[in-house]
């Protein structure tokens, strides 16, 4: 056997695996569309915009769930990004050498906790605390749409906090790797120009910007698909609201909650169409983050290439 022959087989084999990924994605899209045909035919675009989800009368609209998914993920990102970057910068730049490994290990340990455990913690520990905070919120503040709603403890805000805790280890460990890979020449050059430590760190962050955005987007992917922990604290009410205190709902949560008892054909198809919507939205979020990374990459001198992965939890 010749060397070129081996190469060709190797190339072919890896090519098949690569094609398999494509096939799986197309297969999922096809199967989701096929199994939600009844609902697609009946509701069309109004499925995206409809506000009513009524299994009894067979009217299904997914807007509250789309809103809840995007809003909770966005809030989680806003909360988790500064914390995750802070952890990453401290571990890679400022921390004493002895603390580095244990800290890195502990943040990664957060990622290993099953989401149901986060959910239980949220339900029994975080929810009562949030309820107290809600009860202490002055009446004047509660007139704002952001803080309206009953003081029940569960709701959008609680879900966002849980999500952000779950997202932190992903973002921080990737951001830490990115910062570690910034060539020391960059920092040395900054110091040589008389930069302070903070300024030198800024240079390092600027260098790794595209990778850090990638790290944040990885967190977003995680937040979009999270199911179990969210459903236990979000209150599970399909409501369109800006309020952090009001119970709301997410796409993944409604699938997990209602799938087992959906005996009616149209109902089942509507739930699967929610899965299809989640799939489509995840793809678009991924494309958007790719574009974002690409546009920042072009402005940096030597790009740090980092793959982004969207994590989706299968509905339990």
Partner 1 sequence: MRPFIITLLLIAACAKTETQQRPSVVTINGAGATFPNPIYSKWFSDYNKLHPNVQVNYQSIGSGGGIKQMTAQTVFFGASDMPMTDEQLESAPGPVLHFPTVLGAVVPAYNLPNVTGLKFTGPLLADIYLGKVKKWSDAAIAKVNPGVSLPNLDITIVHRSEGSGTNFIFCDFLSKVSPEFKQKVGASTSVNWPVGVGAKGNEGVTGMVRQSPGAIGYVELIYALQNNIPIGDVQNAAGQFVRASLDSVTAAAAGAAANMPADFRVSITDAPGKDAYPISSFTWILLYQNPTDKERGRIMVDFMKWALADGQKLAAPLGYAPLPKEVVDREMQALQRVILTLSGAKGKDLKMRMASQLEMLRLLRGSA
Q: Residue numbers of the site for partner 1 (CB under 8 A)?
A: 52-57, 123-124, 127-128, 131, 150, 152-155, 231-232, 235-238, 247, 249, 253, 256-263, 267
DSSP structural state of residue 145:
G
> At closest approach, how far in Å is the CB of 156 from partner 1?
12
Closest to partner 1 by CB, 191 vs 259, is 259
Distance CA 239, CA 249 (A): 7
> At closest approach, how far in Å is the CB of 8 from partner 1?
26
> At closest approach, how far in Å is the CB of 273 from partner 1?
16
CA-based angle 161:154:278, to the nearest 5? Answer: 65
> At closest approach, how far in Å is the CB of 196 from partner 1?
49
Closest to partner 1 by CB, 220 vs 256, is 256
Sign of the dihedral through C-alpha 82, 84, 87, 89 = negative
> At closest approach, how far in Å is the CB of 147 from partner 1?
16
Reduced DSSP (H G I as helix, E B as strand, rest coil) percent helix, strand, coil of the chain, to 5: 75, 0, 25
Distance CA 249, CA 156 (A): 8
Closest to partner 1 by CB, 194 vs 261, is 261
Tell me which residue of 67, 103, 232 sits closest to 162, measured CA to CA.
232
272, two tokens? 């699967």
Q: How would you class 227 by CB atoms within 10 Å of its CB: exposed for 0-12, middle for 13-18, buried for 19 or more?
A: buried
Closest to partner 1 by CB, 156 vs 168, is 156
Neighbours of 10 (CB within 10 A): 10
Closest to partner 1 by CB, 257 vs 286, is 257
> At closest approach, how far in Å is the CB of 242 from partner 1?
18
Closest to partner 1 by CB, 156 vs 224, is 156
């Amino acid at each position: 056997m010749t060397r070129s022959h081996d190469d060709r087989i190797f190339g072919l084999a890896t090519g098949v695996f690569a094609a398999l990924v494509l096939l799986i994605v197309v297969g999922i899209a096809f199967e989701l569309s096929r199994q939600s045909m009844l609902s697609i035919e009946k509701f069309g675009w109004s499925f995206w915009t409809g506000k009513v989800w009524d299994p009894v009368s067979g009217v299904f609209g997914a807007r509250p769930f789309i809103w809840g998914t995007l809003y909770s993920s966005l809030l989680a990102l806003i909360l988790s990004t500064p914390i995750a970057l802070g952890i990453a910068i401290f571990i890679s730049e400022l921390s004493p050498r002895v603390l580095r490994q244990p800290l890195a290990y502990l943040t990664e340990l957060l990622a290993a906790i099953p989401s149901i455990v986060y959910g239980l913690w949220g339900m029994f520990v975080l929810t009562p605390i949030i309820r107290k905070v809600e009860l202490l919120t002055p009446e004047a503040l509660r007139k704002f749409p952001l803080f309206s709603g009953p003081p029940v403890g569960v709701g959008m805000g609680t879900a966002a906090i849980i999500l952000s805790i779950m997202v932190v280890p992903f973002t921080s460990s990737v951001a830490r790797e990115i910062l570690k890979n910034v060539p020391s020449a960059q920092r040395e050059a900054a110091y040589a120009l008389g930069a302070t430590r903070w300024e030198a760190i800024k240079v390092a962050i600027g260098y790794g910007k595209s990778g850090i955005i990638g790290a944040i987007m990885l967190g977003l992917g995680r937040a979009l698909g999270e199911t179990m922990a969210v459903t236990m604290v979000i209150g599970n009410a399909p409501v369109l609201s800006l309020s952090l205190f009001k119970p709301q709902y997410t796409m993944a949560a409604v699938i997990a909650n209602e799938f087992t008892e959906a005996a009616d054909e149209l109902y089942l198809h509507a739930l699967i169409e929610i899965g299809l919507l989640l799939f489509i939205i995840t793809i678009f979020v991924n494309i958007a983050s790719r574009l974002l990374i690409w546009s920042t990459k072009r402005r940096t001198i030597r790009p740090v290439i980092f793959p982004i992965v969207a994590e989706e939890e299968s509905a339990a």
